[in-house]
Amino acid sequence: MNRVPLTRLLLLAARQLLRDARAGELRVLFFALLVAVAASSAIGYFSARLNDAMLLRASEFLAADLRLSGSTQAKPEQIEAGTRLGLEHAQLVEFSSVVAADEGIQLASVKAVSDSYPLRGELKSAAAPYAAEQSSVGPGAGEAWAEARLLVALDLQIGEEIEIGAKRLRLTRVLTYDPDGAGDFYSLTPRVLMHLDDLAATEVVQPGSRVRFRELWRGDADALAAYRQAVEASLEPNQRLEDARDGNRQVGSALGRAERYLNLASLAAVLLAGVAVALSAARFAARRFDASALLRCLGLSRREALTLFGLQLALLGLLACVLGALLGWGGQYVLFHLLRGLI
C-alpha cells in the first residue's frame, strides 16, 4: 500500500479545516482555545509586569538593585568586578555616633554617602524644619543634613555647626527622607547625612568600631546576576549580598505573598481554560468518528488518519495561540488602564 506524503496530508488537513470552519463545527473549539490562550497570556503578562514594578519599588528600600554589606570594607576585587560589568556604583558607611553642639549632645545614626547615592529612590530634604520637601542630591563635603528631631533636641538652626568626632560640619538642610533609612535599629535615633569624603576626618571609624559598610549596585538583571556569581565565592563571613527580597524582611515577605497570589491567579485561568478546551476537544473527536471510518475504508492507514486529524488540531491550535497571545498582550494594557488608580 502506498503511503500518502506528509505534504499531501497537510494540504488535506487545511482544506478540511476550512470546510469545517464554514460549517461551524470548529468554532466552539477555536474560540475555547482563543479565550484560554488570551486569558492565560493576559494574566501572565500582567503578573510579570506587576511583579517587575513591585520589585522596582521594593528596591528603593535598599537604595539600589543589589547591596553588598558587611562590617568591614569591601575588597578591591569585589568593587572591580562590578565596575567591569558596567554596573552603577555608590558607597555608604553607617554608624552610630554622638553628635555634639553648643547646647548638648545627642546619639544619632550617621550615614556617610558618596555623590551617586541613592541609586534607587529619591533623597528628600527641606530648607527648614517642617518646610516643603524637595528631591535633590546629597550634602557636599563639609555639610550635613539632619532630621528635624535632632534640631529640636539640640536647639539647632540651619546654618549652625555640629561636631561628629573630630570633624565640624555645617547644617545646610533638614533630612526628610532617605530610601534605605527605615526598618532597623538605626532608624530609632535621629539621622544625620554627611559626605563620604568627610568620614576620615571625623576619626570615628576605628578598628573594632560598630560600622556597616555598604556597596550599592544598579544595572540590568543579567549584569547583576553575573556580579553575584563573581563575588559570592569571595564573600567574608561578615559580608552578605542583599536584593529587594532579602534586604528587608517585611518587603521580602510582601513580595513573596504577591508572587504566590499572581501565580495562583494565572494557574486558575489556565485550569478553567483547560476545562473548556477539553470539552470542546471531546466534541471534536466525537464528530470525527464517521469521517475517520470513511477515510479508513478509502485506504488511509490508521497512522495516516491520526496524522491528518492531528495536523488539523495543530493548525487550529497554532492560529488560536497566535491570535490569543496578541489579544492577551493587548488585554494586559487594558487591565493596567482599568486598575491604574490602585497600582
Is 1 within the bounds of a domain?
no
Q: Which residues does 183 contact at the CB level (< 8 Å), separation at least 6?
A: 61, 248, 250
Examine residue 225 and state whether it is found in any structural domain, yes or no.
yes
How much is the pLDDT for 24? Answer: 61
Q: Which of 218, 216, 217, 208 is nearest to 238 (CA)?
A: 208
User: What pLDDT tens digit does each residue of the chain (343 aa) get?
Assistant: 456 666 776 776 677 777 776 656 677 778 878 887 887 788 778 877 777 777 777 777 788 889 999 988 889 999 999 999 999 999 999 999 999 988 789 999 999 999 999 898 889 999 988 888 898 888 999 999 999 999 988 988 999 999 998 899 999 999 998 888 755 545 678 999 999 999 999 988 888 788 999 999 999 889 999 999 999 888 888 899 888 766 556 655 666 676 677 777 777 777 877 777 777 777 777 766 666 676 667 666 667 767 777 777 788 888 888 998 898 888 888 877 787 776 6
Long-range contacts of 300-306 (CB under 8 A, 24+ apart): 300/4, 301/1, 301/3, 304/3, 304/4, 304/9
CA–CA distance, 126 with 110 (Å, rounded to integer): 18
* 343 within some domain: no
CA–CA separation, 313 and 33 (whole Å) = 11
Identify whether residues 123 and 199 lie together within a single domain: yes
Are residues 132 and 25 located together in one domain of the fold? no
Contacts of 299 (CB under 8 A, 6+ apart): 1
Domain that holds residue 34: 6-55+254-338
The total number of structural domains in the chain stands at: 2
Same domain, 109 and 146: yes
Domain boundary pick from 210, 243, 276: 243
Three cell numbers written together for 231: 563575588
Residues 147 and 163 in one domain: yes
Set of cell numbers at residue 251: 518587603
The answer as to whether 248 is a domain residue is: no
Q: Minimal CA–CA distance to 202: which of 256, 163, 162?
A: 163
In this structure, the answer to whether residues 222 and 306 fall within a common structural domain is no
**Same domain as 290, residue 235:** no
Same domain, 206 and 332: no
CA angle 286, 292, 26 (to 5 degrees): 50
For the chain, what is the total number of helices (H) and then of strands (E)?
A: 9, 11
Q: Are residues 44 and 80 in the same domain?
A: no
Q: Which of 330, 336, 338 is nearest to 37 (CA)?
A: 330
Residue 142 lies in a domain: yes
Phi then psi for residue 135, to 5 deg, are: -90, 135
Residues 89 and 212 in one domain: yes
Residue 209 and residue 318 share a domain: no
Same domain, 110 and 175: yes
Residue 152 CB: number of other CB atoms within 10 A? 12
Residue 194 located in a structural domain: yes
